Amino acid sequence: MKTAKIIVMLGLTLHLLLTVPVILADPTLTTFLEIFSQRETWAFQITSDLLFGFLLFAVLVYGIDGSLKTAALWFVAANLLGNPAFAIYLLLNIGKLGADQRKPLSN
């Protein structure tokens, strides 16, 4: 577990270091919002894929925590922070993810 936490922390740190210049260069999200008007581009496809991943992340959180409210909060966090939200969730909940502790999703 300790190695996994170190890897996640290194990845999170690197991502944040790469994100800060982008936030400073475009704090109003202008370039991000332009993507939605360019539906036949890779930028749009990658963005929609990312949003789908955030939805799957919320489903995973719901399956682990069993709380729709918690899943919704993490979905919002993922939309604001991106994959670092998943990294933070993983760091906070890595103990719950052991093979002997997994719960099947309810139908």
State pLDDT tens for residues 31-52.
Answer: 888 888 888 999 899 989 999 9
For residue 21, the one-letter residue type is P
* pLDDT value at residue 78: 92
Tokens of 49: 């894929």
Burial profile 76-91: b = 16 or more Cβ within 10 angstroms, e = fewer: ebbeebbebbbbbbee
State pLDDT tens for residues 37-95.
Answer: 888 999 899 989 999 999 999 999 999 899 999 999 999 999 888 888 888 898 888 88
* pLDDT value at residue 83: 85
